[in-house]
Structures are given as structure tokens and as C-alpha cells.
A and B are shown apart, each in its own frame.
Chain A
Amino acid sequence: QGQSQCRIENINAQEPNRRVESEAGVVEFWDQNNEQFECAGVAPTRYIIQPNGLLLPFFVNAPRLVYIVQGRGMSGALIPGCPETFHSIRQSAQLRAGRSQQQGARDQHQKIRSIRQGDILALPAGVTHWLYNEGETPLVAVSLHDTSSNANQLDRNLRRFQLAGSQQTQTTSYQQRQQQRQQVRGQQQDIPENNIFNGFNVETLAEAFGVSTETARKLQGQNDQRGNIVFVEGGLRAIRPQQGEDEEEREQRYRTAN
């Protein structure tokens, strides 16, 4: 990738210029075509997730650092090749007891991390990530994507690949001039954002997953109007260590005491 051209006469503080509303939150984008961001080779995004809101899993074409500005919740980074190290203990007990009819309750998945205000999450390019707000206040996270990283072999545009959800209607707040400029640059910001399953044939998906075509259609989320941040009724339950008892917390407590 060629080095970016930095012809900057003035530097200005930048506000997000695009806002996408979902059922349980908002995603705000700064203009990645802004010459200052272009020069630095970065693209920033801000997520505001309401209590019990789940930012649906997605990945991007660049590595990113996410700072938790406010709130607390849990985060899942799905790293390829890593084992599902979080198991339901109840499942093991049931299996030992031979109660296979209750296998419906079993689950295992990759590590889940508790997050709170002040935390930084480092996510390599292409790693799928989801975020859930389990606090009482909105969870605010600012994410900076290094689109000029060598890990990104595409162009410098930030590209989101959703694994779930779809964004059929977008609330944009472009200024007229910015809108015209982006149209000139061939950006397609107003195209509905579907998940990647939507691009596959329903029959192929059903065959691949070994599920019914009805379930395959749900994967595509064609009639899903909730957007990319959805409300989880009754709260999200997932196997994980008790709050405050995970490895990082213990380590932090030890450091304070020592």
C-alpha cells in the first residue's frame, strides 16, 4: 500500500458526521474521507449501546483498538483456531449422569471478557467481535481502525462485515456539501447494510448448516428491522466466571494489595 498523501493546511476537531440508529443503540461514524483521517490512515467509530443492548457480531478489514468510555458489559472476540474454553458445568454433570434429554441446556464457547469504563480492547483485523451492555447506563465505546495497517490488503476504506442483523434504513446527518463530495468519490454509504449470509443462496446456507430453509432465512435477517444493536429481553445469559472473579480482576486486586 502506498503511503498516504498528507496535504493538510489546517487541522480541525472532528465530530461524527453519520449516525445509524438501531433498536437498542446508535453507531456514529466520522468521515473516513476527511483528509486528516486519510493522512493518518485511520477510521473512527463510536458505539452507544443501551442497557441490555447487544452489538451484533461483525468484523472489519483492519485492526482496531476500542476504548470503553462509559458503562460496563461483556465482550466476545471470536479468534480463529482458539478452543471453546468456556463450558457449562451443569452440562458436564448432566452428561455424567446420563441425562442426555436435557442436553438442550448445554453450551460452550470462546472466552468472554467483562469490560468496564477505561478498558481498551485490542482486536486484530478479521476477528469477529460482539459487545453487550449489562449495566444500567448506556455503554459508550470508541473504536479506532488502523486501515493503513499491513494486515489490511484491501484499499483504505473501512469495510464492515456483519455476521448478523441488517440495517435497512439509515438515519444520516450529512451536510449537503459532504454528501455531494462523497457521491463524487463514489462512496455508497446509503446502501442498506446486510449481513454476509444475505449474500448466499438460502438453499446453500441450509445445506451448509444442515438446518431448515426457514432457519437459513432467519440467518439472513431479511425481515429484521432491529438494526445492528438489538435489545435482549430478560438480559443475555452466557457461561462465564462470576463478576469480579475473572483472571484480570484477580490480577488487578493482587497488584493493589502487594
Chain B
Amino acid sequence: GVEETICSMRLKQNIANPTRADIYSEKGGRITTLNSQKLPILNFLQMSAERGVLYQNALHAPHWHSNAHSVIYVTRGSCRCQIVGNQGRQVFDGQLNQGQMLVVPQNFAVVKQAGNEGFEWVSFKTNDNAMAIPLVGKTSVLRAMPVDVLMNAYQISREEAQRLKYNRQEETMVLTPGSRSQVRA
């Protein structure tokens, strides 16, 4: 009976269409994910994909994937990319240009900042429901922690801890540039 399911399964979906974006920021860019919930065939493949567009100098928030490796292919523009592994070791700090590919291992934290012409990429994940865990923004792990934990962990004041948790307000994953100008040091 396998052919009865596989043969009729949907095998393609466009992820470049901006109207299909899962995360959208007017000034930052957009990210569209394609996982097995949207395209069930991916369950067989145990893989998923993500298409991202960052506008000039926008940031793809620091994050890691808890259940997948990620392979990034640059489709347009460039970015500065940093990857950090266990023990806080920086394993990559450099520019990614169009046509290049980069492997981000599972659990390794990555941040990207678009260059002056913006940055577009597609990334392939080795899990059909790859889970991205951001360090910054509305859905971040820091926001999920009590303020007292942050204060004691980083030896900072209550106000600094509040800023760490809430400065990015409703933003998630795609961060607009220039937020530091609003910082009350």
C-alpha cells in the first residue's frame, strides 16, 4: 500500500513567495520554513528546509537547532556569520558570499548579519521538524528565565536583566538593525 500514499503525495512547495513567510519583519526581512507539517513527504525524508531574506544590516538572531544539523547555501548577497560550539569555542567567524555553503552542526549557536546588499539563503535541515531555539527576542530562552536567574548568572542589575529580556519586544528571529541607539547605557 506504500505506493498509494507516496504516489499521490504532494512533492513540491514554493518557499520563496513572500506571502508564505512564517516570520516577517517590515524592516528586517522574512523566514519561511518548510517542514513535514506543511509537506508530509518530508517525514519520509527526515529533512526540512528554510528560506530566509535579510535586508541591509538586519540580523538573524543568535540561535541553535536542537535536533538537526543545518546546511546553509547563499542564494544572494552576503553576511557576516559567527558560529560557536561547545565550551564557547568560536568555530567560524567570516563572510558568507553568494554560491557558498556552510555547515552548522546541531546545537552549535549561529548568528548572521546581512551586508550592505542584504542576504538571502536557503538552508537544509537533517530533521523533518527542525527546532530553532533563539537566544534573543520574544521566544528566546533568556525571556523564559526569571529575572533573578539572569541577574545572578551574568552579575547584572535588575534593570539590565529586564532590558536583556524585553528590549527586542515582539521581535523574533529576524532583528532589525540599529536597536542599540535606543539603549540607555
**In the assembled complex, B89 has its CB within 8 A of some CB on chain A:** yes
Report the minimum CB–CB distance from B179 to chain A (whole Å).
4
Q: In the bound complex, what is the Cα–Cα distance between A57 and B149 (angstroms)? A: 9
Q: Which of A154, A197, A237 interacts with B107 by CB under 8 Å?
A: A154
Q: Which of A56, A78, A198, A219 interacts with B144 by CB under 8 Å?
A: A78
Contact B146 A194 (CB under 8 A): no
Q: Which of A125, A164, A204, A211 interacts with B82 by CB under 8 Å?
A: A204
Interface size on A, residues (CB 8 A): 68
Question: Which of chain B's residues 156-172 have a Cβ closer than 8 Å to chain A?
Answer: 156, 158-160, 162-164, 167-168
Given contacts A104-B159, A196-B109, A208-B59, contact A214 B185 (CB under 8 A): yes
A238 proximity list for chain B (CB < 8 A): 146, 148-149
**In the assembled complex, A76 has its CB within 8 A of some CB on chain B:** yes
Q: In the bound complex, what is the Cα–Cα distance between A187 and B133 (angstroms)? A: 28
Contact A219 B154 (CB under 8 A): yes
Q: In the bound complex, what is the Cα–Cα distance between A162 and B109 (angstroms)? A: 11
Q: In the bound complex, what is the Cα–Cα distance between A197 and B183 (angstroms)? A: 19
Contact B163 A204 (CB under 8 A): no
**In the assembled complex, B85 has its CB within 8 A of some CB on chain A:** yes
**In the assembled complex, B180 has its CB within 8 A of some CB on chain A:** yes
Interface size on B, residues (CB 8 A): 64
Question: Which of chain A's residues 185-209 have a Cβ closer than 8 Å to chain B?
Answer: 188, 191-201, 204-209
A93 proximity list for chain B (CB < 8 A): none
**In the assembled complex, B2 has its CB within 8 A of some CB on chain A:** no
Given contacts A54-B153, A204-B111, contact A154 B180 (CB under 8 A): no
Q: In the bound complex, what is the Cα–Cα distance between A186 and B148 (angstroms)? A: 39
Contact B113 A198 (CB under 8 A): no
Contact B136 A153 (CB under 8 A): no
Instruction: Please name the residue on chain B nearest to A82 by beta carbon.
Output: B144
Q: In the bound complex, what is the Cα–Cα distance between A151 and B126 (angstroms)? A: 11
Instruction: Please name the residue on chain B nearest to A132 by beta carbon.
Output: B149
Overall SS of chain B's interface:
mixed
**In the assembled complex, B1 has its CB within 8 A of some CB on chain A:** no
Contact A211 B163 (CB under 8 A): yes
Report the minimum CB–CB distance from B168 to chain A (whole Å).
6
**In the assembled complex, A221 has its CB within 8 A of some CB on chain B:** yes
**In the assembled complex, B117 has its CB within 8 A of some CB on chain A:** no
Q: Which of B62, B65, B90, B154 interacts with A208 by CB under 8 Å?
A: B62
Question: Which of chain A's residues 212-227 have a Cβ closer than 8 Å to chain B?
Answer: 212, 214-215, 218-219, 221, 224
Contact A210 B163 (CB under 8 A): yes
Contact with B along A147-161 (1 / 0, CB 8 A): 000011110000111
**In the assembled complex, A59 has its CB within 8 A of some CB on chain B:** yes
**In the assembled complex, B106 has its CB within 8 A of some CB on chain A:** yes
Question: Which of chain A's residues 48-80 have a Cβ closer than 8 Å to chain B?
Answer: 54, 56-57, 59, 61, 76, 78, 80
A61 proximity list for chain B (CB < 8 A): 86, 106-107
**In the assembled complex, B41 has its CB within 8 A of some CB on chain A:** no
Instruction: Please name the residue on chain A nearest to B92 by beta carbon.
Output: A199
Contact with B along A89-131 (1 / 0, CB 8 A): 0000000000000001001011010000000000011111010
A160, A204, A215, A218: most-surrounded residue (chain B CB, <10 A): A215
26 pairs, CB–CB < 8 Å, chain A vs chain B: A54-B153, A59-B66, A78-B141, A80-B131, A104-B158, A104-B162, A124-B66, A125-B67, A126-B65, A126-B133, A128-B133, A128-B141, A153-B69, A153-B126, A161-B107, A163-B142, A164-B154, A198-B88, A200-B109, A200-B111, A204-B80, A204-B82, A209-B164, A218-B156, A221-B154, A232-B148
Q: A residues touching B (Cβ–Cβ < 8 Å)?
A: 54, 56-57, 59, 61, 76, 78, 80-82, 84, 104, 107, 109-110, 112, 124-128, 130, 132, 151-154, 159-166, 188, 191-201, 204-212, 214-215, 218-219, 221, 224, 230, 232, 236-239
